[in-house]
Structure 1
Amino acid sequence: MLAGKVALVTGGGQGVGRGIALALARRGARVALVGRTPARLEAVAAEIGDGATCFTADIKDAAAVSAAVHAVAEHFGGIDILVNNAQEVPLGPLLAVEDSAFEAGFASGPLASFRLMKACRPYLRQRGGGTIINLASSAAVRWDMSNYGAYAAVKQATRALTRAAAAEWGPDNIRVLAIAPHANSPGLQGWVDDNPEEAEAFFRTIPLRRVGDCEDDIGNAVAALCGPDLSYLTGATIPLDGGQANFG
């Protein structure tokens, strides 16, 4: 389904990024794993085998982002898919979130996605179009925003960029989508382990009563969104959360 496509996945060394990278590779895509920790990237590349290459970069660094995108395009001969997965998460009540954490959330989230989208756009256009997947969050539409305000603000900015890019770049056959996943990532598992009662209550708010598997549920959905069967879908936020969120 994705044979011959080149996918750049940020934060591809663990969790959701790893799951998406594995799912894309299983459908024939060649995968560029971009992140800060070479050992994690290399471990995922080893799982994928031929067709995966690692590129070390801090996505909060504008020069590093530009260099990584150009290196990926040069290595693979182009780029067809961009997955903006990496994100530092500012959580906690507003009075407890430091400016530095809030700024890091924006720098690693919407600002990094903004830079990556702009850097990748010429390569996608050269290939006749492509797909950009940005990661949003249902935290933005929680019934209780306590402790999630800073994180939701970051992710809502990403959704706005998604809509704008979809509108502006659609004539070039570049589709831009956001997903809002609940996934059993190391970060979520750590939260479950530390907050078992809150986690149990949280699971009860999910109609399917579980969080998604990073590869089977989230990765496979992203692979489908990047494929030809959904080529008329753009500008939308796709909730991959077992039916919990209502984005209206």
Structure 2
Amino acid sequence: MSELAGKVAIVTGAGQGVGRGIAVALARRGAKVALVGRTLAKLDAVAAEMGGDAASFACDVKDGAAIHATVDAVARLFGGIDILVNNAQEVPLGPLLGVEDEAFEAGFASGPLASFRFMKACHPYLHQRGGGTIINLASSAALRWDMANYGAYAAVKQATRALTRAAAAEWGPDNIRVLTIAPHAKSPGLAMWMENNPEEAEAFFRTIPLRRVGDCEIDIGNAVAALCGPDLAYLTGATIPLDGGQANFD
């Protein structure tokens, strides 16, 4: 598979879980991948798994200056940027009265604000290459039948969806496509929750028509790679729910 040969991708939060799955899937299709995250050792382990077309970049996505420096460093190393995947996110969960301001602010700083900064920093490089693809990560949390304990997280992720729609409209003439995915994936955190809460996890599975949580690489990574490829070049501005049919974004 080489449909992304010659492409350069940035994936944030790439040291584990969904970010790792996306990075590996992009590399399997020929892309050179910049693995971005806070913990260099985790990134290096993924880079070693992927081979010579991956490189690690330590970056706190809540640091605007670090974001710009990282994007410039990726472009210098690989010669440009074609794909950006904004996956990193600190998650402010809990009842509204229990979520501290600091956690809410960290959710916005690591989520929509970081995505906003990465998108703007990457835009000139995408434009120089004649276009590209940006994938932002949202969540079906805002569409839950029971919003208790998910309000702050949902607010963060809905802001990301709004940024996607605006960027798709503004940057379409530059042939830059901007999409949102809303995945359910068996990340380390979710796997631990499932193991520790088997009855609740079983009830959760019953709300998913396919009755399972997605694999980070096979179900989520491969879908993102397809969205970045030539066969879906007319798709932009949409939210794609990679969740086994659970949520209704209509």
TM-score normalised per structure 1 = 0.99
Deviation at 1:195, TM superposition (A): 2.1
Amino acid at match of 1:178: T
- Counterpart Cα distance in 2 of 1:186 and 1:33: 18
- Counterpart Cα distance in 1 of 2:113 and 2:58: 18
SS of alignment partner, residue 223 of structure 2: helix
* Structure 1 gap segments, 5+ residues each: none
- Partner of 2:80 in structure 1? 78
Q: 1:197 aligns with which of 179, 199, 211?
A: 199
- Counterpart Cα distance in 2 of 1:66 and 1:152: 27
Amino acid at match of 2:26: L
Q: 1:235 aligns with which of 230, 234, 237?
A: 237
Amino acid at match of 1:183: A
Identity %: 84
Deviation at 1:116, TM superposition (A): 0.2
- Counterpart Cα distance in 2 of 1:191 and 1:146: 17
- Counterpart Cα distance in 1 of 2:223 and 2:39: 26
SS of alignment partner, residue 31 of structure 1: strand
Say whether residues 1:2 and 2:4 are aligned partners. yes
Q: 2:46 aligns with which of 44, 47, 50?
A: 44
* Structure 2 gap segments, 5+ residues each: none
- Counterpart Cα distance in 1 of 2:189 and 2:170: 34
SS of alignment partner, residue 240 of structure 1: coil
- Partner of 1:98 in structure 2? 100
Say whether residues 1:13 and 2:18 are aligned partners. no
- Partner of 1:213 in structure 2? 215
1:174-230 C-alpha deviation (Å, 9 max, x unpaired): 000000000000011122123222111001000000000000000000000000000
Q: 1:158 aligns with which of 153, 160, 171?
A: 160
Runs of 4+ in 1 over 3 A off after TM superposition: none
- Counterpart Cα distance in 2 of 1:116 and 1:149: 25
- Counterpart Cα distance in 2 of 1:97 and 1:230: 39
Deviation at 1:125, TM superposition (A): 0.3
- Counterpart Cα distance in 2 of 1:74 and 1:11: 21
Aligned-residue Cα RMSD (Å) equals 0.5
Aligned pairs, how many? Answer: 248
- Partner of 1:53 in structure 2? 55
- Counterpart Cα distance in 2 of 1:145 and 1:18: 29
- Counterpart Cα distance in 1 of 2:90 and 2:216: 18
- Counterpart Cα distance in 2 of 1:191 and 1:114: 30
Deviation at 1:15, TM superposition (A): 0.2
SS of alignment partner, residue 146 of structure 1: coil
Say whether residues 1:140 and 2:111 are aligned partners. no
- Counterpart Cα distance in 2 of 1:114 and 1:29: 23
1:93-121 C-alpha deviation (Å, 9 max, x unpaired): 11111111100000000000000000000
- Counterpart Cα distance in 2 of 1:151 and 1:39: 28
Amino acid at match of 1:235: G
- Counterpart Cα distance in 2 of 1:210 and 1:227: 26
TM-score normalised per structure 2 = 0.98
- Counterpart Cα distance in 2 of 1:139 and 1:198: 16
Amino acid at match of 1:133: I
Alignment of 1:101-116 (within 5 A): 101-116=103-118
